[in-house]
Amino acid sequence: MRILRYLNREVLVHMVAVSFVLLVIIFSGRFVKYLAEAAIGEVAASILLPVMLYRLPGFLELIIPLGLFIGILMSYGRLYVESEMVILNACGVSPTRLAAYTLVPAGLVTLLVASLSLYVSPLGAARSEALLDDPSSSKGLQTLAAGRFQTRRSNNTVSYAQNISGEGVMQSVFLSQRERDDDGRLQMLVTVADEGEITIDPETGARYIELRNGYRYVGFPGRLDYQVVSFERFGELIPEPEGGIRTADPVDGRPTLQLLASDKPEDRAALHWRLSIPLMVPIVALIAMCLSRTDHRRGRFVKMVPAFLIYLTYLMLLANARTAMEDTDSGLAGNMWLIHGAFLLVALAMLYGGSLWARFKYLRYRHAHS
């Protein structure tokens, strides 16, 4: 039990330290990007921190398995470099027992990641979407600021609304947009309307600006032959910047029980993804344990690069399998589980392959000299 507690302490301390560093790096990068959106008026600055906190579980469910993977590499690598593993082997700690010891913290991390992936992250994503999709709230997304012109670099649009009511309805709306026609010539699109408001597609989460009772002018700068179109209702998609605060997939905010009852390909793919993240934890833990074998001459970081490549390959294959499931109705869920099975075989081969090969050579030697 003392050996188990010692190994668990080493692994968990390294895992927490690595996960914290990764979280700070990723969280800071995202926050700076979202802050830039707030600076140009894409999102209200007052909701940045709540949205980031709601999305924190989604970051953790991917960071913690990587933290455990690196934590095992670093902690066990130190034990090999300082010859403590040699002492443990002399005390009867076989590779199988070491794997069992390793699976204890991996099991705890699996339960934590499962709770994040299946419950906490979808709940946080749903709260984040609700906060962003509430235009009438003072914490919600303010697409136009009343009484001032606003430039949006995402679609080269200058916008203005004289007043914005508490329900999010805008009065005396002005929109000016520049774009190129089929011949590559720069043209102006100017729209004025008595009122307008932001609507959100519940299926896709896309935002539209809906204008009522106005005119739309289309023409080229310096010319007088503008086309004038009057309308009672006019809607236009509001493009979101790539990687912006509103580019999250709406399916990420749906409860797991709702995904279980759905037959949509994207819902089934999201369900299998949520189940796959916890399942990969014990598999990558065994792989990290095997890759941590080293000595004091090579150092404990000698296998860090191939370890990262194996981990990234595993994660990218799962992501590609999810994309394939979303794009087809043929039911490719088995592909995701085949990936888990393949990497489990890799882990078992790394764990027992050396001893089985040595035994095979020994039996062949005995057979040749018998």
The answer to whether residues 214 and 346 belong to one domain is no
The answer to whether residues 102 and 75 belong to one domain is yes
Residue ending a domain, among 218, 238, 258, is 238
What confidence tier does 129 reach under pLDDT thresholds 50, 70, 90? confident
Structure pTM? Answer: 0.73
User: Is there a domain that residue 144 lies in?
Assistant: no
The predicted pLDDT at position 251 comes to 82
pLDDT tens digits for range 1-30? 788 888 889 899 999 999 999 999 988 888
Under DSSP, the state recorded for 43 is: S
Residue ending a domain, among 238, 267, 292, is 238
pLDDT tens digits for range 54-109? 889 989 999 999 999 999 999 988 888 888 887 887 777 788 888 888 999 999 99
Helix axes of 48-81 and 304-326: crossing angle, nearest 10 degrees:
140
158 versus 168: which is more confidently predicted?
Answer: 158
The answer to whether residues 269 and 229 belong to one domain is no
User: Is there a domain that residue 244 lies in?
Assistant: no
User: Is there a domain that residue 9 lies in?
Assistant: yes
Q: Is 164 within 8 Å of 150 (Cβ atoms)?
A: no
Residue ending a domain, among 194, 209, 238, is 238
The strand pairing partners of 186, in sequence order, are 180
Domain that holds residue 283: 2-134+249-368
Mean pLDDT across the chain: 81
How many helices (H) does the chain have, and how many strands (E)?
A: 9, 6
The answer to whether residues 212 and 298 belong to one domain is no
Q: Is 235 within 8 Å of 197 (Cβ atoms)?
A: no
The answer to which of 139-153, 232-246, 342-356 has the lowest mean pLDDT is 139-153
The answer to whether residues 21 and 127 belong to one domain is yes
The answer to whether residues 231 and 256 belong to one domain is no
